[in-house]
A and B are shown apart, each in its own frame.
Chain A
Amino acid sequence: MTAVTISRVARTFGAVRAVAGVSIAIEAGELFTLLGPSGCGKTTLLRMVAGFCDLDEGSIHFADRRIDTLPPHRRNTGMVFQNYAIFPNLTVHGNVAYGLSARGVAADDMRGRVERALALVHLPGYGERWPHQLSGGQLQRVALARSLVIEPDVLLLDEPLSNLDAQLRVDMRREIRALQQRLGITAIYVTHDQEEALAISDRIAVMRAGRLEQVGAPAAIYRAPATPFVAEFLGATNLLTGRVAGREDGHLLVDALGRRFRLPAVDAAAGTDVTFSLRPEALQPVTVAVAGAATVAGEIAAAEHLGALLHLEVRLGDGPPLRVAMLDDGAVAPAVGRPVTLAYDPSRITVFPP
């Protein structure tokens, strides 16, 4: 268990600021996810920790030890690569034992540790197999065992599941999470899949163009995104811009899409524009309008039935339709063109002050 402190690290490739002054304090035993769109610098940051990418500025510490001045082979990190990076010239046993023999572990001790590591990833007895005899999922397990067996200070995973098919991805991410928690190991996990990030992380850092946009627990980030970018990147949302019309009952009144919305009060003068995020599941069609409840009226522009879920697109006045997600309880007939009233809880709206 090792805490990782990343302080103001930066790296420029030619004209690209791949990582532009990032500071993160990762706690011991935490699974910390770097999430962001392609090219935002996630891999670069992770490779800085591993030592494969030199820092222009800043420092990285494992606990109290500064490690960014160490060569990569002396940092004691365990890296799991996107393409597995299993040595084709070694057996499964040879692969898993690789880091142990680099550390001078005695042969008899080694055998036991390799077997235990393979058992940990549900591949007991696979030691004598050759990599080309294994499936993609099994190769990724070998890679995991190979990284875990050396008891690294930090486990580094760069999109470890992106080469696997959908179902295996879900199974593997659960396994990785369970292993990480059981061993209490600190892990940094890179992904651009927001669902994966939400599912397994203790905390998530959303990155954009080499900077941190927001850091926090998954639910907190989802419920209270700090910027419009985070709101859109993490989960679907309706991102609206409207003009402040005034205040009422401790709410901000905002006109958008030809309707009046009630938003949580923030510092914004009447006549200014504000942007706000309205999650699809925060909007619910109602048959009987409760007096005093916040509602908007529109008509159904499109409907998509996804089994348990019903996705609606509701056109209000002008502009793009609102996305609505609800459990399909049969109460709403999703006929295109039907008028519908949507109720919402103003406290579930996130406002981004101007």
Chain B
Amino acid sequence: MRRLLPPRSAFPLTVAAFAFAFLGLFLAWPLYKVLASSFLDAEGARFTLDAYVKVFATGYYRSAVANSLAIGVMTTLACMAIGLPMAFLLARMAIPGRSVLLALSALPLILPSFIGAYAWVLLFGRAGIVTQWLQGLGLPTTTIYGMPGIVMVFTLHSFPYVLLPALAAVRAVDASIEEAGQNLGASRWRVFRTVTVPVIMPAVLAGGLLVFIETLENFGVPFVLAEDMPILAIEAYKLFVGEVGANPAMAGALAMLLVVMAALALLLQRHYLARRRFATVARSAPPVIRTGPLGRWAASAFVWGLVLLALLPFVAIVVVALMKFRGPVLQPEFSLGNFVQLFERAQRPLANTLGLATVAAVGASLIGIPIAYVLTRYRSPIAHALDVLAMVPFAVAGTVLGIGLILAFNSGWLVLTGGWLILVLAWLVRKLPFSVRSGSAILHQIDPTLEEASVNLGRSPSWTFFRLTVPLMLGGIVGGTVLAWVTIVSELSSTVVLYSGPWTTMTVVIFRALEGQGAGTAAAAATVLIVATVVPLALVYRLLRRNNLAVL
């Protein structure tokens, strides 16, 4: 009989107990409330499937499901179609400015997608700058609203999810594999199709899954661009906050559909990857492909064009923010007026955003890193359960978590609604999978015998973790925390459900400005967010790893 509690388990058990308690309270309990509400009748007393029946009987909600799925699938395919060739070209062709390109190519991922969408509206919307200019010239205009616009904005935002892992995979393909293929008589194209692509496919699919889930749960982009088209994440929100009478049961049913779809995608990908793990260690990288100047020019134009296109809206926003508005009308004149107005009206949201995001990001690291430590260093059923639990937030849309937190904590022994803590908790839970994964990635590079040596010399496991391992991990932890902070600053999907009273954030300010008149203020607010995103990233660029980005 193995002892139930081995003598060296105090530290991992403490961490596991805390993690289970924390995630149980702020993830499992809210999710349960959502689930329960979807199965209860109007009085909240009887079990019923009415909500689900009603969802599937209503054409509007059926098309919400269909639209969300279609957008998710199309965006995923588009990101793969862009990311895979881009990775291949970046790895194998002498494209000018490659290192700049590599640094820039991760950027779209980090810039707030919903600001990107807003920028496209500023440019191509009904009152957009380009639209008006085209109209002024009497030229036909295209619309940015609707499904094609949404898919385009998502694709330009998310393709690095595929590009970054695919790039790592292409680089890890050993030259001899391809040479062997060619030696056996296959043409270069055939080798690419039959050898190279299958070997990097797992990485591409892993990235594709991130795109799908991210797209499915995203609130801001469809909110800006969908107009009257129903979208799951938004309908759940609308039903919950109830513009025309709240319906928590149906909101819960839609939320559960979102969770189930994301979970299914996750399982599907696991199932696929379980049977395809190619360990490739590049001993010699494949040679740079030589082409004529035309080929190189085309490749460079493709890669540079896409990256610049993805960053263009952000540049546009900054420029617009620096211009003078008279009412909603843009004047060809530079001014800091928008920023002055913003700081008069939005000091509090700005402080909220920066301060609360810091608390949440640091909190995510404080909780996530010890969990990562237990996962990587102690193999046990408890660690495995922790691993699964810590990944659950990944499949839970922000809207859903927000709804759950309100259902769970608007009454009873712990009331959090109306305060700032509920925002911090939502962000923290949402960023936990990232913190855990990035922590694990760092830990895999630290030799575990160092910790054993420390314990052997008389330091307890917890002392060893906090005083030896954490200092060794510090660079990676700082990089990961900043990255988490950056994405929290631009979070919208749970924030929009949870903000209240004085606890609004910059994303909410922009979100509200979209409905109202303040295009200039919104652009200035978006600019502040962009700066708040890019500057810290540039500062910690050296501490960041590409795999950090790939698990955002």
Contacts and interface: CB of A to CB of B under 8 A. Distances in A.
Contacts of B459: 73, 98, 102
Contacts of A201: none
Contact of A87 (B7, B453, B455, B460): B453
Interface in A84-140: 85-89, 98-99, 102-103
A85 B449 contact: yes
B309 interface: no
Given A51-B7, A71-B8, A102 B457 contact: yes
B6 A85 contact: no
Given A71-B7, A88-B472, A89-B471, A150 B447 contact: no
Given A85-B450, A87-B450, A51 B458 contact: no
A89 B446 CA distance: 12
A98 B459 CA distance: 9
A73 B452 contact: no
Interface stretch (A75-83, A182-190, A222-230, A240-248): A75-83
A348 to B, nearest CB: 43
A83 B456 contact: no
B1 interface: yes
B326 interface: no
B197 to A, nearest CB: 36
Contacts of A304: none
Interface string B441-480: 0000001011011111111110010001001100000000
Contact of A79 (B3, B10, B456, B472): B456
B467 to A, nearest CB: 10
B542 interface: no
A52 B452 contact: yes
Interface string B244-256: 0000000000000
A53 to B, nearest CB: 9
A85 B448 CA distance: 9
A150 B8 contact: no
B290 interface: no
Task: Name the residue among B6, B450, B456 with the largest chain A CB count within 10 angstroms.
Answer: B456
B114 to A, nearest CB: 42
B2 interface: yes
Given A51-B8, A54-B3, A88-B472, A77 B450 contact: no
Contact of B456 (A78, A82, A87): A78
A284 B466 CA distance: 65
A70 interface: yes
Interface range on chain A: under 10, 10 to 19, 20 to 34, or 35 or more? 35 or more
A72 interface: yes
A2 to B, nearest CB: 16
B458 A76 contact: yes
Contact of A81 (B6, B7, B449): B449
A70 B457 contact: no
Interface residues of B, number: 24
B515 to A, nearest CB: 53
A71 B458 CA distance: 10
Contacts of B460: 71, 73
Interface string B1-29: 11100111010000000000000000000
A71 B10 contact: yes
Contact of A73 (B1, B2, B456): B456
A98 B454 contact: yes
B185 to A, nearest CB: 41
Interface in A250-309: none
A176 to B, nearest CB: 17
A69 interface: yes
B443 to A, nearest CB: 15
Contact of B458 (A54, A82, A103): A103
A195 interface: no
Given A54-B6, A56-B1, A73 B455 contact: yes
Task: Name the residue among A52, A77, A88, A146 with the largest chain B CB count within 10 angstroms.
Answer: A52
A145 B6 CA distance: 30
Interface string B414-427: 00000000000000
Interface string A180-221: 000000000000000000000000000000000000000000
B464 to A, nearest CB: 8
Contacts of B6: 54
A50 interface: yes
Given A51-B7, A54-B3, A56-B2, A98 B452 contact: no
A150 B453 CA distance: 13
Contacts of B472: 88-89
A183 B153 CA distance: 72
B455 A98 contact: no
Interface in B465-521: 468, 471-472
Contact of A77 (B1, B3, B456, B468): B456
25 contacts: A50-B452, A50-B456, A51-B455, A52-B8, A52-B452, A54-B7, A71-B8, A71-B10, A71-B460, A71-B461, A73-B457, A73-B458, A73-B464, A79-B453, A83-B447, A87-B468, A88-B472, A89-B471, A98-B457, A99-B457, A102-B459, A103-B458, A146-B457, A147-B457, A156-B456
Interface of A: 50-52, 54-57, 68-74, 76-79, 81-83, 85-89, 98-99, 102-103, 143, 146-147, 150, 156
Given A56-B1, A150-B457, 18 more contacts: A55-B3, A70-B7, A72-B452, A73-B456, A78-B456, A78-B457, A79-B452, A81-B453, A85-B447, A87-B450, A87-B454, A89-B471, A99-B457, A102-B457, A103-B458, A143-B453, A147-B456, A147-B457
- For the complex of A and B, list the 5 residue pairs with the smallest distance between their C-beta atoms, beginning with the closest: A99-B457, A102-B458, A54-B6, A85-B453, A85-B449
